[in-house]
Amino acid sequence: MVAVFRLAPPEAIEILDQTLLPFEEQVIRIADVAALCEAIGALRIRGAPLLGLAGAAGLALAASQNGPTDKDLSHAARVITATRPTAVDLGLRAGDALELALALPVDERAGALWAYAARLHGDRIREDAAISAFGADLLVERGSVLTHCNTGELATGGAGTALGVIVAAWKRGRVERCYVTETRPLLQGARLTAWEALRAGVPATLLPDTAAGSLLASGAVQAVITGADRIARNGDTANKIGTYQLAALARRHAVPFYVAAPLSTIDPNCPEGHHIPIEMRDGREVGGFGDHRWSPAGIEAYNPAFDVTPAELITAIVTEQGVIQPPFTAGIRRAQSERGEQ
């Protein structure tokens, strides 16, 4: 597979256009902030951890292409962050990059920002490997797992979060099969996760989102594992729309529900889930896909990109530092303290 994300300083970044998968692997070269924002909004690049890398790289682009002044960089950070409000990593990394740059002389900023983005990418690869290992340790009973949306390399630039766990557990002989929801309305599971699982050699089965309850009731699944776009201090977790219902169904059928995400996904400024901003997307994404429509013209659509799963439905949160168990407020505070955060 071509690189999902690659820095090409001082002029550009290169991304794999995820809207064309699984049928075409096309790399897009992005040379300015406007093009990056279009790619983020159109989901050509997506996944909370990968968006964090994009946010940092976007500031490097701004410094190289538009000028490294305080005004230019501050504007770039604002517009990048606004493209997708739910995923905390995007604004976090853009903000961190801005803070780094503003502390430096103007002529040193572009180089420092490219170096920062490269360091983040290296950290992402190492942290994904740790998340995968810690998560695989949880899956002690050999069996099948269910996942939702896309959480592999396409979402992170490393091994992935939830899918990284699944692949690592499969290599240890602890996963027999990965069940993948289609993930309506944009089919990230059907187009992306199924593709990644097959390429990794993991036996995979695709199912409609609406079949998850039946599957869980059948006893065929030993665990559900998903990623996260933002986690509140109490453990409430925002993830792709449909995650909440999976967690509720898993609880009903006594199936463990795990969240795998880097510690950067935990928002220290967000006390509870109802404070998480939920991105509402264009209603045209519902009732069709691309140019193919199956709904009548004029029908209104409700299209939130994410929902929030209450902490009480989550069995554990897997991070690069280890597994956080309930009660999550204390566990999250301890993990952030150990990481040097307040």
Give the C-alpha separation, 232 to 88, whole Å: 10
Answer yes or no: are the C-beta atoms of 36 and 30 closer than 8 Å: yes
What the block records as the tokens of 82 is 């606004």
pLDDT (0 to 100) of residue 140: 87
Give the C-alpha separation, 110 to 118, whole Å: 13
Q: Which of 152, 147, 153 is nearest to 181 (CA)?
A: 147
The residues of the chain that CATH labels 1.20.120.420 are: 5-125
- The pair phi, psi for residue 175, each rounded to 5°, is -120, 125
**What pLDDT digit, counting tens, does each position of 246-269 carry?**
999 999 999 999 999 999 999 999
pLDDT (0 to 100) of residue 113: 97
pLDDT (0 to 100) of residue 342: 42
Q: Is it the case that residue 341 has pLDDT exceeding 70?
A: no
Q: Where are the beta strands (DSSP E) in 20-71?
A: 27-30
Give whole-number Cα distances, 117 to 5, 6, 108, 124, 257, in Å: 11, 10, 15, 10, 33
Segment 19-40 shows an average pLDDT of 97
Q: Is it the case that residue 27 has pLDDT exceeding 60?
A: yes
Q: Which of 111, 121, 112, 114 is nearest to 53 (CA)?
A: 121
pLDDT (0 to 100) of residue 66: 79
Residues annotated as part of the active site: 229
Segment 281-306 shows an average pLDDT of 93
Q: Is it the case that residue 219 has pLDDT exceeding 80?
A: yes
The residues of the chain that CATH labels 3.40.50.10470 are: 131-338
Instruction: Label the pairing between strands 175-181 and 204-207.
Output: parallel
Class of domain 5-125: mainly alpha
CATH annotation of 131-338: 3.40.50.10470
**What's the predicted TM-score (pTM) here?**
0.95
**What pLDDT digit, counting tens, does each position of 124-176 carry?**
999 999 999 999 999 988 999 999 999 999 999 999 999 999 999 999 999 99
Question: C-alpha angle 134/245/143, rounded to 5°?
Answer: 45
Segment 38-65 shows an average pLDDT of 96
Cis peptide before 10 (omega within 30 of 0): yes
